[in-house]
Each structure stands twice: as structure tokens, then as C-alpha cells.
Amino acid sequence: MRLNIAVLAGDGIGPEIVGQALRVMKAVAGKFGHELHTEEALVGAVAIDATGNPYPDATHELCMRSDAVLFGAIGHPRFDNDPSAKVRPEQGLLAMRKKLGLYANIRPLITFPSLLDKSPLKTDRIEGADFVAIRELTGGLYFGQPQGRSENGNTAYDTCLYTREEVERILKLSFEFARKRRKKLTVVDKANVLATSRLWRQVSKEMEPQYPDVEVEYMFVDNAAMQLIQWPKRFDVMVTENMFGDILTDEASVIAGSLGMLPSASVGVHTSVFEPIHGSYPQAAGKNIANPCATILSAAMLFEYAYNLNEEAALIRKAVEASLEAGAVTEDLTDDKSKALTTSAVGDWIVQYILK
């Protein structure tokens, strides 16, 4: 099979972690007889520097003609520290999601036995945790209009907007995910306060009869934040709106022991994007110390979701788990920094495992 992948490494540690994921993908493709074709493009701060646009037209055209997108991270401190900047790297990410119609971000969370002690949570609370968080990605506060600040700069406003169509399509996807798993769906909202959340709850209740085999529960977002930490094993599939999902899924990273272990897939109308959930980590850029596993696991999701190559995906996951068990990890996953491997050395270990 010919695999046509757009590679958007982005900013910060993006090129380093994406580089290791590509090495793993090439090893897997070679082992299973696939032809891997990749083409790179700019996004984020590097794209602003080169073109003035965080998501250039050429990048979008590449994404549209590719089977899938492997994405790294975006962001740079010079934009974070400049509230007056009119163009920001994050605008590129939002534009990509909007133009590609990526309305759903799928974030699986599982615990690895060898990393249980890396979580700040008690082992008995997290051991065996296995759930999927589905976040609506193209609506809500991040896209609502109007947005802005008053002329004197003392007042700012954002607008949260959802339509029935947006809510129905993300809920349909979530119900179908639950059907394939343990048949439990948790809808997270703030319906006691927000009109948009009341729309989410209304639409979900209307859809429930279509999925009689799925148990549905509704949970306010503040309670969900607490339950995630207290009882993470109670969740199977969780669905929520854009900003709530952004916050809750980052909170959930402590269950796995490191933000560097969590992959994701953004799916929708056009080409799907596969990326780690962490940011650009500019403090580590160029130091060869960043954990590449989330990006490598995102590549596993790419094989599975974009091509239905489940055996290839399973091998990548098995290789990552074996590296953890062997202690072949970066500094974020070991207490003894002298034993930590570099980003590229972890990539070496995983590639060698795949090829053996």
C-alpha cells in the first residue's frame, strides 16, 4: 500500500519528536511492505517567520491531497509574551482544524504498568484505567464571534456558540465509539449555567433512544474534573465541548504519568491529523531530551484510523510498551537522570525492536 503523509513538524520540539515518529513509521512500512511517501510543510511560528501566515495556503493544499497528516506542535514564547501580537502560531492550528473540518479530537488514555509510579495518583486508583475522551474541535469559545477588546483595552470578550448540527455530529461519533467499547458514554457540560450546554444536553437526550445499548450519564464539568482524578476507571467514553475538552484531557495526562505519552487523532470532513497532545516545549527545543512516545503513538493511530492497518498499529504500541518496560525512556520518565536516554536514542530502541 502507498501511504501519502503530510508532515507538519511545527515549532519547538516538533521537528525532533516528529523525526522519531517518521523513523518508526518507515520501519513499520518496510516490514509490512508498504511504500511510505512523505512531504513536509510549514505551520505555526516557523510559518509566520517564512510567510507571515501560520497556516499557509501551500500547507493546506498539501494536507488536502494527502491521506493523513502527522503533526508536531506549535507555539513560541515571543508570541506568548506579546499580548498585542496580531498573528499567532495558534491561529494556524485553529485555521487547520476549521479548513480541514476536523470537528472531533479523539484522545485515548491508558495506563502503562511500568509507569504507574510516575503518576502523582495512587496506583490502585489508576491501574487499569482505559478511556477515550472525545473533544469537539471547531466550535465553542475558541471560534465564537464576536471576540475582541474595548478601545481602552480594559474589557475583553469571547462568545461561545454551538449549533444543533455541530452537537449532533460529535455526539453521533461518541455514541458509536461507546458501542465499540464498554457501552458507556459520559456527556460533560455545564448545563446549570450555560445555554450552549443546555443545547448539548437536549440534543443528547433526543439521541439516546437511537442507542438503547449505550448507558448515558451527564456530568457537570467541575464534577468531571474531580471524578477524573478520584475515579478515572469509571469512564469509558467521555464527550464534551471544545474548551472543557482542552482542559480535562490535559488534566487526565497525570493518570498516564506524563504528558509525553498521550497521542491523539483529529478527524472530520477532510484529511485527519495525528498529533501528540503536548505543546511545543520551547525550553527543550534542540536539546534532544523530549519524549517522542506520544508522537510515535500518534503514528500508530494514523496507521489504524487512516488506513485500517491494525497489525502495524499494534506493533508500534507493543514496541513503545517494551521500551518503557526496559527503561529505555527520556528524562521525564526516570528518577535517575543519568540513565535517561535522548529523544533519538529512544527512537533507536523502538526502531530496533520493530525490525528484530
In a domain, 108, yes or no: no
**Mean pLDDT, range 159-179, rounded to an integer:** 96
158 as an active site residue: the answer is no
Instruction: Please tell me which residue in 55, 103, 142, 281 is annotated as part of the active site.
Output: 142
Higher pLDDT, 53 or 117: 53
**Mean pLDDT, range 21-47, rounded to an integer:** 97
**Residue 86 identity:** K
> Angle at the Cα of 270 (from 264 to 274), degrees rounded to 5?
20
- pLDDT class for 347, splitting at 50, 70, 90? very high
Instruction: Please tell me which residue in 11, 189, 246, 332 is annotated as part of the active site.
Output: 246
Count of structural domains within the chain:
2
The answer to whether the pTM exceeds 0.75 is yes
Residue 70 belongs to what domain range?
1-102+264-356
Residues 190-217 have pLDDT tens digits of 999 999 999 999 999 999 999 999 999 9
**Mean pLDDT, range 295-303, rounded to an integer:** 98
Domain final residue, candidates 256, 274, 305: 256
233 as an active site residue: the answer is no
**Mean pLDDT, range 247-255, rounded to an integer:** 90
Domain final residue, candidates 256, 286, 309: 256
In a domain, 162, yes or no: yes
Question: Is residue 81 scored above 80 in pLDDT?
Answer: no
In a domain, 112, yes or no: no
**Mean pLDDT, range 99-107, rounded to an integer:** 95
From 310, 335, 333, select the one nearest 321 (Cα to Cα): 333
142 as an active site residue: the answer is yes
**Mean pLDDT, range 262-268, rounded to an integer:** 94
- pLDDT class for 315, splitting at 50, 70, 90? very high
- pLDDT class for 307, splitting at 50, 70, 90? very high
Give yes or no for a contact between 270 and 66, defined as CB atoms under 8 angstroms apart. no
Instruction: Give the pLDDT confidence score for residue 86 in this predicted structure.
Output: 82
Question: Is residue 25 scored above 90 in pLDDT?
Answer: yes
What does 287-354 look like in DSSP terms, one character per residue? Answer: SS-S--HHHHHHHHHHHHHHH--HHHHHHHHHHHHHHHHTT---GGG-S-GGGPPPHHHHHHHHHHHH
213 as an active site residue: the answer is no
Indicate if 249 and 298 belong to the same structural domain. no
Indicate if 80 and 129 belong to the same structural domain. no
Question: Is residue 80 scored above 80 in pLDDT?
Answer: no
Indicate if 91 and 155 belong to the same structural domain. no
- pLDDT class for 151, splitting at 50, 70, 90? confident
Instruction: Give the pLDDT confidence score for residue 78 in this predicted structure.
Output: 86
**Mean pLDDT, range 344-356, rounded to an integer:** 97
Integer Cα distance of 165 and 158 in angstroms: 21
In a domain, 107, yes or no: no
**Mean pLDDT, range 276-296, rounded to an integer:** 94
In a domain, 114, yes or no: no
Instruction: Give the pLDDT confidence score for residue 152 in this predicted structure.
Output: 81
Strand partners, 237: 132, 185
- CATH number of the domain residue 311 falls in: 3.40.718.10
Residue in this structure with the C-alpha cell 472531533, named with its chain if needed: 104
Instruction: Please tell me which residue in 49, 57, 82, 222 is annotated as part of the active site.
Output: 222
Least trusted range by pLDDT, from 118-122, 161-165, 294-298:
118-122
Instruction: Give the pLDDT confidence score for residue 114 in this predicted structure.
Output: 87
Higher pLDDT, 257 or 216: 216
Integer Cα distance of 158 and 142 in angstroms: 8
117 as an active site residue: the answer is no
In a domain, 115, yes or no: no
Indicate if 206 and 97 belong to the same structural domain. no
Instruction: Please tell me which residue in 250, 305, 307, 318 is annotated as part of the active site.
Output: 250
Indicate if 270 and 150 belong to the same structural domain. no
Residues 272-283 have pLDDT tens digits of 999 998 889 999
Domain final residue, candidates 199, 231, 256: 256
Question: Is residue 70 scored above 90 in pLDDT?
Answer: yes
Instruction: Work out the mean pLDDT of the chain and round it to a whole number.
Output: 94
- pLDDT class for 259, splitting at 50, 70, 90? confident
